[in-house]
Chains A and B, each alone.
Chain A
Amino acid sequence: MKQLVILSGKGGTGKTSVTAAFAHLASLGPFADRVVLADADVDAANLELVLKPRILEQQEFRGGQVAEIDQDRCAVCGACESVCRFDAILERDGYYVVDPIACDGCAACVYQCPTGGIAMHEQVVGNFFVSDCRYGPLYHADLFPGQENSGKLVALVKQHARQRALDEHRLLLLVDGPPGIGCPVISAVSGADLALIVTEPTVAGIHDLIRTLETVRHFGVRALVCINKADLYPAGVEAIAAQCRASGIATVGTIPFDLTVADAMVAGEAVTAFRPAAPAAVAIAAVWERMSAALMNFETPINQDV
């Protein structure tokens, strides 16, 4: 079983549209019924908007703890406020209260309260789902707006998806990653055999691609790059190709700027299923051919000059 994670650094480069198309394409070829899907972008979970999952199982996700002050025991001494480094304890009308959004769950206040009037309470910060969708089992989650611990929730999603893939001897775990390079990305990358970085030839896209390449290198994950919206800025494509050559990273193709991708999103379909002859769909299919070959045989040279 191989684990493929789709990343980008910069948001909005087309990670989820590419992942949905891969899920569709995988259902047609030798990977049919051999794929497990996971959405690791738990605070902006969009893959399900395309895959239309039927939820089979739902679990509450308990994240970190939050402090709570028992007003009957509070001596209003302010010790809690003075030790809190997260500005989470507020004085309000002569009382101390905890701002649950700011609270980091460190419990420093609990140990400093002279009256033992502060306790920690576990919070339900999201939901975790096991679903079936038209292209296979989908593991996904929904972190409540503004909550912490997205990295832990990503880890939970991936852990269950991976176990399913192993139990059923599936060939591929396809993971739609979050943007950025921080905690949920680190969680999404962990254990991956290959990262496909979907970038775009824009100054921002290139800047963030470089940071993403450094991140996957830091965690020792092999990466390939695909350039979306490639015809927007030809000089940017050259810059990406040069950057990839310098980093020893292969490019697996380009996808043209094509508004059919947005139409497919509105229709709730993978672009390759919605309009297989659209320029973006044809290009993604070609990228998938090279990607899947690369995944199953790491020895095959996969360099494609752009």
Chain B
Amino acid sequence: MRIVVASGKGGTGKTTVATSLALVAAEQDAVCFRDCDVEAPNAALFLHPVLDSHREVGILVPQVDAQTCTYCGTCAEVCQFHAIAVVGGKTLVFPELCHGCGSCTLVCPEQAISERLAVLGVIDSGATAQGIAFAQGVMNVGQPMAVPILRELKNWCPAPPPTARGAQARDIEIRDAPPGASCPVVETLRGADFVLLVTEPTPFGLHDLKQVAAIAHDLGLPAGVVINRDGIGDEAVAAWCAAHDLPILLRIPMQRRIAEAIARGTTLVAAEPQFRPGFRDLLEAIINRVNA
């Protein structure tokens, strides 16, 4: 069961919901958590995993053997991203433009191109005290491309597998998505079973919720909504959800006390244990909807 927590607008409480959902799930189920917000990964600040494994990841970029290269320019012709060029009797590679597709390597008639890893970031992995298998992608500063890191993050397999404490032992994967509604969000959603949309009842929250709901719809993913900071703003989010058959699965009220606890790095269910049953019901509601 792969659940993505997404929002569109940043700061609506994705990580708040994802971490509390993971903690409640881990009481019974085997939980794997992937922080897919590789530009600004924050879940570890709340779950405190011991991250004992670090692996550099990136894309394979071409390197040209000057001895074998005949400067025919076929590589430059096929490259859609202008990442390789033949200039003044030299074949130059611009790794920062390369998407790592491998097309130049395949077409080179002299087999003069080999590939090397251009590092874009790191996958840190480990486990939390509750037995949650945890991994996060961390993009290097100055790098533009998040998607290759996400692909590696999604392929990460925890070893040993996460432990379940109860008898039920379902496998639950929770992905904390990046904000926005462009390619990194799509990559996070691909292969998921359910998307939980965390929003706030404001015009900004609604506008961006619609964007991500559209992606979920295009991917054929079932979705549900969590309204965070319930009580601020207006009723437009609830009305829009009702009109679009999006169930509101949980409401978290606007309380200064909650905001202060999250600011300090406390998870919602640790700071306010009365929310535990709500998160338990949320998890079961998601599982029932996917299995229905």
Using a CB–CB cutoff of 8 Å, the interface residues on chain A facing chain B are 8-13, 16, 41, 43-46, 49, 64-65, 83, 85-86, 101-102, 104-108, 111-112, 120, 143, 145-148, 150-151, 178-186, 200-205, 207-208, 211, 214-215, 218-219, 229, 232-233, 235-236, 257, 259, 262, 265-266, 268
Contacts and interface: CB of A to CB of B under 8 A. Distances in A.
Contacts of A201: 263
B218 A108 contact: no
B239 interface: no
A146 B263 contact: no
A203 B204 contact: no
A200 B259 CA distance: 11
Interface stretch (B21-29, B122-130, B177-185, B281-289): B177-185
A145 B218 contact: yes
Given A10-B42, A13-B11, A44-B8, A266 B215 contact: no
Interface string B214-242: 11001100000000000011100000000
A211 B203 contact: no
A259 B141 contact: no
Given A44-B9, A183-B144, A207-B40, A11 B182 contact: no
B101 A111 contact: no
Instruction: Give me the 9 closest cross-chain CB pairs, A-B, nearest first.
Output: A11-B10, A12-B11, A106-B101, A180-B39, A183-B144, A233-B263, A108-B103, A203-B265, A204-B42
A108 B102 contact: yes
Contact of B106 (A108, A183, A185, A211): A108
A219 B96 CA distance: 14
Main secondary structure of the interface of A (DSSP, over half): loop
B139 interface: yes
A181 B115 CA distance: 27
B101 A104 contact: yes
Nearest to A10: B40
Contacts of B203: 46, 49, 265-266, 268
A11 B15 CA distance: 11
A183 B204 CA distance: 22
Contact of A46 (B45, B102, B184, B204): B204
B143 interface: yes
Nearest to A214: B141
B260 A233 contact: yes
Interface string B267-283: 00000000000000000
A208 B101 contact: no
Contacts of B214: 145-146
Contact of A203 (B8, B45, B101, B146): B45
A183 B145 contact: yes
B89 to A, nearest CB: 24
Contacts of A41: 180
Contact of A146 (B80, B178, B183, B265): B183
A219 B263 contact: no
B12 A265 contact: no
A105 B40 CA distance: 27
Given A45-B207, A143-B181, A266-B202, 4 more contacts: A106-B101, A181-B141, A218-B141, A233-B263
